[in-house]
Amino acid sequence: MHPFVGTGIPRPNSVADRQSGMTMMKLTIRRPDDWHLHLRDGAILQAVAGETARHFDRAIIMPNLVPPVRTAADASAYRDRILAALPAGAAFTPLMTLYLTEDTDPADVARAHAEGIVHAVKLYPAGATTNSASGVRDFDRIQPVLETMAKIGLTLCVHGEVTDTEVDIFDREAVFLDRVLEPLRQRNPELPITLEHVTTREGVDYVRDAPGRVAGTITTHHLIINRNHILAGGIRPHYYCLPVAKRDTHRRALVDAATSGNPRFFLGTDSAPHVDALKESGCGCAGCFTATNTLSCLAQVFEAAGALERIEGFASLHGPAHYGLAPNAGSITLTRQETPVAYPAKIDSKDGPITLFDPGFDLFWSVTDGTHHHGETA
């Protein structure tokens, strides 16, 4: 069903102008949101905040700082630092999350939710990814928090990988679904769950078919790269992220899911900046930085799939519906250019350069226009 059917929400400028025969050249959609974003802190936050705020109105902000964002007080202080890092005039709302530990206090979580400070709680299995050492080992210990969250309707965002060294890194998502996520969901059937950065066909199938309030985010880069991009013809650290990109069959399943119109799938870029020195290293950090060119990349992916009219659902409508929020009031216009759109290879930060994700093909779509709330120009 089309996401607008029965919602009573007027469509901004409808779907598209068709110019030059059958080629869609311009597309105006509601302003998008990013449902999984790393903004970091300090110098990197200063460098990247404006990159997301340029096109996105809201983002779910990951709490994996060092030390992590664990309490309502931490989240509120971090939110203030993000707001202070935004360029003048930016209209961007960070949606804060708490980092779930075995010591998280259910009462603090409930208070943070009631006061509108947090919009989700993030579950990292201990050791699964960047800065996840304080994550969960014993899932029984988080059951009281999960019960509170289910009661108040607060979403659990899940990094879905087991960390068992016996399990091959390419299988860690699929194994997590069986061993951890499905038992957790069955124990908490009312809990809203976001399986983040889905990278496998098994993950897509799980999100599509699981009973209850289950959704999945898909990143920009996992729609574009497979594991060959990381490993064939030389090791390319800027394509290394977690969960690691899989075989192309999985990438194609992700494209099918993202472009299907199924409201359980929506954009979470997982834009995860690390300075080049930490990526181009003997033990490089995981994360692709995609904030700057994400919408150009996505438009190209959706166009290639013959599904441009579904990009709005994926980027702007399905996410708010899952999180119980209204879609943004403003819009953006994507325009297909005659010549490739130029993006910088890197952006600068006071800690060093950060390499922008290179999709490996020319990008022709750019964001040419936009409004914020009720028609002010962006």
Q: At what angle do helices 72-85 and 42-53 cross, to 10 degrees?
A: 70
Q: 27 vs 177, which CB is nearer to Zn ion?
A: 177
Q: How far is the CB of 124 from Zn ion (least distance, A)?
A: 9
Total number of residues binding ligand NCD (CB under 6 A)? 11
Cα–Cα nearest to 346, from 357, 332, 362? 357
Q: How far is the CB of 132 from ligand NCD (least distance, A)?
A: 7
Q: Are 164 and 174 in contact (CB under 8 A)?
A: no
Token readout for 129 is 């990814």
The end-to-end CA distance of the chain, in Å, is 31
Q: How far is the CB of 157 from ligand NCD (least distance, A)?
A: 10
Q: 123 vs 207, which CB is nearer to ligand NCD?
A: 123
Distance CA 294, CA 269 (A): 8
Residue 38 in the binding site for ligand NCD (CB under 6 A): yes
Q: How far is the CB of 38 from Zn ion (least distance, A)?
A: 6
Residue with the closest Cβ to Zn ion? Answer: 270
Q: How far is the CB of 106 from ligand NCD (least distance, A)?
A: 24
Residue 286 in the binding site for ligand NCD (CB under 6 A): yes
Residue 242 in the binding site for ligand NCD (CB under 6 A): yes
Q: How far is the CB of 137 from ligand NCD (least distance, A)?
A: 17
Residue 238 touches which of Zn ion, ligand NCD, none (Cβ within 5-8 Å per kind): none
Residue 64 touches which of Zn ion, ligand NCD, none (Cβ within 5-8 Å per kind): ligand NCD
Q: Are 20 and 253 in contact (CB under 8 A)?
A: no
Residue 270 in the binding site for Zn ion (CB under 5 A): yes
Q: How far is the CB of 230 from Zn ion (least distance, A)?
A: 17
Q: Are 267 and 35 in contact (CB under 8 A)?
A: yes
Residue 129 in the binding site for ligand NCD (CB under 6 A): yes
Q: Are 292 and 372 in contact (CB under 8 A)?
A: no
Cα–Cα nearest to 34, from 193, 169, 187, 194? 194
Residue 241 touches which of Zn ion, ligand NCD, none (Cβ within 5-8 Å per kind): ligand NCD
Token readout for 175 is 């194994």
Token readout for 35 is 């449902």
Distance CA 49, CA 27 (A): 25
**Residues in 243-272 that interact with ligand NCD by CB under 6 A:** 270, 272
Residue with tokens 């929506």: 266
Q: 57 vs 161, which CB is nearer to Zn ion?
A: 161
Token readout for 65 is 């700082």
Q: Are 196 and 34 in contact (CB under 8 A)?
A: no
Residue 130 in the binding site for ligand NCD (CB under 6 A): yes
Q: Are 142 and 108 in contact (CB under 8 A)?
A: no
Token readout for 355 is 């390499």
Residue 173 in the binding site for Zn ion (CB under 5 A): no
Q: 191 vs 288, which CB is nearer to Zn ion?
A: 288
Distance CA 161, CA 241 (A): 13
| 105 flagged as catalytic | no
Token readout for 263 is 């409201």
Q: Are 204 and 198 in contact (CB under 8 A)?
A: yes
Token readout for 252 is 């194609």
Q: 238 vs 310, which CB is nearer to ligand NCD?
A: 238
Catalytic residue among 33, 270, 351, 358: 270
Stretch that binds Zn ion, among 45-53, 163-171, 213-221, 264-272 (CB under 5 A): 264-272
Q: 13 vs 134, which CB is nearer to Zn ion?
A: 134
User: 64, 148, 262, 292: which one contacts ligand NCD (CB under 6 A)?
Assistant: 64
Q: Are 172 and 243 in contact (CB under 8 A)?
A: yes
Residue 241 in the binding site for ligand NCD (CB under 6 A): yes
Residue 85 touches which of ligand NCD, Zn ion, none (Cβ within 5-8 Å per kind): none
Residue count of the chain: 378
Q: 297 vs 367, which CB is nearer to ligand NCD?
A: 297
The contact set with Zn ion (CB under 5 A) reads 270
Q: Which residues bind ligand NCD (CB under 6 A)?
A: 38, 64, 129-130, 159, 241-242, 270, 272, 286-287
Q: Among all residues, which ones are annotated catalytic?
A: 270
